[in-house]
Structures are given as C-alpha cells and as structure tokens.
Amino acid sequence: MDNPKADRVRKLADLLTKHGQRKAGKFLVEGPQSVREAVAMDPAIVTDVYYDPDACADPAIPQAALDAGLYVHQASPAVMRRVSENAQGIVASARIDALDAARQAALRRLDGAATGFSRAGSGSMPGRVPLIAACWQVRDPGNEGTIIRTADAAGCSLVVLVDDCVDPLNPKVIRSTAGSLFHIPVLHLTEDEFFDWAAQRSTAVWAADIHGIPGSSPVDVADLAFGAGSAGTGSAAAGGRALLAPLVCGETNASLAVLFGNEARGLPTGMVERADGSVIIPLYGRAESLNLASSAAILLYTLSMLLHRH
C-alpha cells in the first residue's frame, strides 16, 4: 500500500473517530505494544495488520499475525502517516463485536463458581486476585487507560466503568492501556446497575473518598497495609481488615471493588453512602490531592499485594 489518498486508507484512518468506528464496526489499534497484545491474546479480534518494514521496531509482530492467519499488509511511510500519528510503524484494525464477545466470555469465567476470582495457579486467569477497579464518570482518556493498565498489572479481575465515562475505544484510552485492554475485561454499567451487580456477586464496594460512609470513618490504606490502628475493635483499620477477611480466606466468589470518582469532583455523597466502606491515601506533604491515576495505582497495588501475600 503506497497511496495515502486511497479510499481504503481513508477508511482505515476513520477508525480513529467514533463515527468511523460505528460505521465500520471496527476500531484502530496503534503501536507495536498494543498490536502485539491484541494478536497474542485473541487474534479473532484482529482483521488486518498494516506495517512499515523500515519503521516497525519488532518484525516478530507482523510474523505472529501471519502465523495466526491474519491479513498483513506492508504500507509506505506516507500511508502510515495518513492513518495515524502514533503508529510507530504498525497498526491493526479490530472488530468491536469480537472484542465484546471476548469480554463476555471473560465475565462468564469470572462468574464461574470454582474458577472465578482465583489466585495464581488455581483458576482460569493466572495471577488474578479478587479485586475490581471501578471508575465513576472518568472523563480523561489518559487516566482511564492508565487505570486499566494499572488494574491489569496489579492482577485485578475486572475494570468497571460506571455511568458517563470515556469510551474505552477512544484512541488515547487504547494507547494508554499499552495492550492491557486485551488482557482484562472492561464492563460499562450505570450507577444502579453497578451496585446491583456487586450485591449479586458478594462484591464489597469501597469508595476512595476522604469523608467516609455514615457511621464509619475511612480506612487509611497505610494502617491497613502495615497493621496500625488495630487497637479497639471499632477502629477503621480493624473494620477494613474484617471486610478483607473473606477475600484473604478464599471464600468462593468473594471480591472487592474499589470505586474511584471523577477527576475534578470525586464521588457524590449518594454513591459513597451506598458503599460498604471507604479508603483513603495519607498525604504527608503539602499537596492537596493526588492525580486520579496515581491514587488508583497506590490503592490497587497495596490491596493486591495484601491479597497476594495471604
């Protein structure tokens, strides 16, 4: 392919827009890391791979696509520039319906009585812990993609986008996940659907919120991690450990969702009041707060390390 004005090239570039995605039923995967993971995890999602032999840093990726029976096309630098400014020598077109089907299959595995939310070596998703990342009205695609990537790295079993979040097929979201979009299922629910979904699956919900829920102060994640605050059965840290106990003991399908709020407004009071508990990150310096993605990384990794060590 060497004509950047060709209709086929235009349609490929249109997959970076919402309109183009809806019209074609496809989305664009940009860059070597994301394309590699899409091909490796489920080649049925991918329809075509396009690469510039002189710019693609990893020739093993197009070869893996060929080995998987996918259509692989060499493209000129001009074509690659027309398609994407973030290609780094390789892009792929992928089917939205196939990605949705893969997510649904992963969710069914998670709902399995014996293999859902299992630790490494004991179930169908190695390394996963019974921990879920949930985000309410996340509007920044970089934050959303980074949270998906962090949840994947921390071994979370699922990411739930609650209410009006950025479309996970937004090109910046996909790039920010660095391939994790193809590793971990992403579910989109309304507020009521999320809390109903959690209740039906024995999933406790902790709100990442500084004020706490009625009648209970928030758990300081440092106290939870290092065992402080244990004096007195009514302490927040002791309550937090009690909520973690079913997960630590490996009770069937017990799980924990950590709910993060909007970048600017946090979580509304009504949502915090529906949670089972709340958790905060201590601030030792003068900063008023942490970036949403940074907060998610600290909380998800701390909780995941606690679960992996039991």
- What does each C-alpha distance from 11 to 27, 42, 51, 179, 237 come to in angstroms? 11, 23, 16, 23, 55
N-term to C-term CA, the chain: 54
- Domains of the chain, start order: 7-98 (3.30.1330.30), 113-308 (3.40.1280.10)
Distance between alpha carbon 38 and the CA centroid of its chain, in Å?
A: 15
Average pLDDT across the chain, whole number? 87
pLDDT at res. 228: 52
Percent of the chain having pLDDT more than 90?
67
Contact in structure between 276 and 257 (CB atoms under 8 Å): no
Helix axes 292-308, 236-248, angle to 10 degrees: 60
Q: Is 167 helix (H, G, I), strand (E, B) or coil?
A: coil
pLDDT at res. 45: 95
Contacts of 77 (CB under 8 A, 6+ apart): 52, 54, 55
Q: Is 95 helix (H, G, I), strand (E, B) or coil?
A: strand
Place 222 in a pLDDT band, splitting at 50, 70 and 90.
confident
Any idea which residue has 């969710």 for tokens? Answer: 107
Could you report the per-residue pLDDT of 121-140, keeping only the tens digit for each?
A: 333 455 677 899 999 999 99
pLDDT at res. 236: 59
Percent of the chain having pLDDT more than 70?
86
Residue 106 has pLDDT above 60, yes or no: yes
pLDDT at res. 117: 43
Helix locations, 25-170, DSSP H:
32-41, 60-67, 77-83, 96-110, 141-153
Contact in structure between 128 and 152 (CB atoms under 8 Å): no
Q: What is the mean pLDDT of residues 68-94?
A: 96
E strand or H helix at 119, and its extent?
none
Q: What is the mean pLDDT of residues 203-232?
A: 76
User: Between 218 and 101, where is the model more confident?
Assistant: 101
